[in-house]
Structure 1
């Protein structure tokens, strides 16, 4: 607690100086962090690094213009100099008539459980290296010639936020995460190569098994051996948990109030309208215990709210920070970032009544995507995506991987094509990821 008290003292000194220099609104963040990272390459440890950092930042508003300045370290004179720079930049900046105020203090809120783990903070470089080595040994036991690469890392941070509106918040966070890529080569042709990756992460050590990521990566690489070309056509597409999450991430991004207010979202003008199948209910919840993106308050100190973005197919709500909420005269949903912008938290998806296996069995002929990378045009919703990880479904059964395949369509059409959401799911802390099925999707093959 002594360190937190020191952070508060530094932040309040910078805040008081900024206000005395003419700032109308101000917030100050002071914190520190620790990082350990281990890199794997060619099924061996390539490097390990660790470090500690101290940082602080000051944000001020003068006449609707913003100034923002940072400094490394916690020396008082450097932080006060940052406060002076921030005020100077705001005085020279362009006024924004839509800026109203920073968030004010709300009713006291309890921090979300499960975001800090002393076990993770106590880990050493040797502990993190051991997790990486465990993946190497596991991968070699499964496939002696497998080529593994990836990362294992740890982070721990703490800090405070103080604002001129009376907010005083302290935060403490830990995270352990890893990602492993596996490449299996059985011959010279492209079909003789299988590549896949997987990951795991958690705020608490009990929420993840970083030492076993290689298992899923190697199993996936085996599954991708023997890829074949398929013909073009319209067919059913089943999105596995990771692919479905990536697909729906584009919808959450389109519900960003800043993009909507600027006319840069394919959901513009569709509030209260049907934009997806009745089977889809999609939300954002930053209050899930142990959630990777959870926290009682956002980066500006505003309390987070649970938001239902799509309610049984209807566009029901957007994600706000303090600026967009004031501009729209709507409640702030607590998705603000101090450096500007809006950041989603944990995605929530209402589950269906059939398992993923049942959804695949009912598909007849189509594609199954365990992983997908979807980057729709944010304004139009148009989507054209290569299928890097795809498997053919035939007779309701996954038969072989595919190559040289693309998907095309518009997000609104694809959302309307959802006809099933699974009852089972991949469970990442704060994020339940079910399987989705889409009917009549345009698939471009090369057979």
Structure 2
């Protein structure tokens, strides 16, 4: 049994499709991709990162969950600035031929995972739940893994599997360019953190609650003990029913993006059965760790989500006193597009390297950390695990930044110990995510 951690603070929730993608290609600002954020020539010239939302940010049908993806279109990312400092050569701001975001090595260094990633995860399966079909998913994943020296993960060698929400490998949903970007992001981040893990991509017929929930159940039925979800939307009185129907899987680590619309609870991140994953700005530093993090917030309407659920009951292991129901988030990882990650994608865009941000980055990262830590204990809800390590060196406490304004400070402002935007912090190794 795990001991109950001391009271610190709270978490948050909601529903909306969340990946934030950013790509270093100004030429790819297509009509219909959404409104560019800070996309002015002066900002680009000054090196400030600019980006646009991707097509899946607009729902196809009423009630659909939407993605919150942003693709970098100009400026220099944190990774590019880091490389420029090392080489003395400033890279081109718009060049999809070369990765412009953090690499697997960067991410594993930032979260103390270098040793664990080299030896853990073999035999474990991470499931990625997304909507619609990415016809290039396996090929794009192969390009990413090959570039970064990761072992092949293919259908042929049994590492990769793509199925519909009913488990079919042949009858797949219709293709969608916007969701394909999200799929590439999710697959690449799972690979980056747990390169020895198998990956199962479960594609829902559409982005509805029912179809994504059915895909969630299929992922678990296929044997995955780790399931990543980078979608969500507004809370509703129906969500406790969805909890029972789709997310109550004891012994399975289910991670969910906390949201990209700044302060405010979203579902399914506020489900009591999942790990709600917030987002940070990740930068190199002169500290012993070599990295530093603050809450990701770009504007009053863009940043990591957090908040107190209006509907979901508070889990027994969550002990903050400001929120009487489920608080979001539990833990966090990098999400700011300006300090985003490299992803390879070729469907619906010019084939190339893109930089992504948003809590669609942080959710599969945390799923990968759980996988490195090993199979969850039967009958447990792995969202509790980090709470048992609260305040220890197994988590990097994020103590600065906010994602908006709120009447209860820790709901939206980072502080020592628990807070809504970043939970108990980011991984420092795998201990806080072990059964």
* TM-score bracket for this pair, using the shorter chain length: under 0.3
Higher alpha-carbon Rg:
1
Bigger relative contact order (CA 8 A; separation at least 6):
2
TM-score, length-normalised on structure 2?
0.23
Q: Which TM-score applies when normalising by structure 1?
A: 0.23
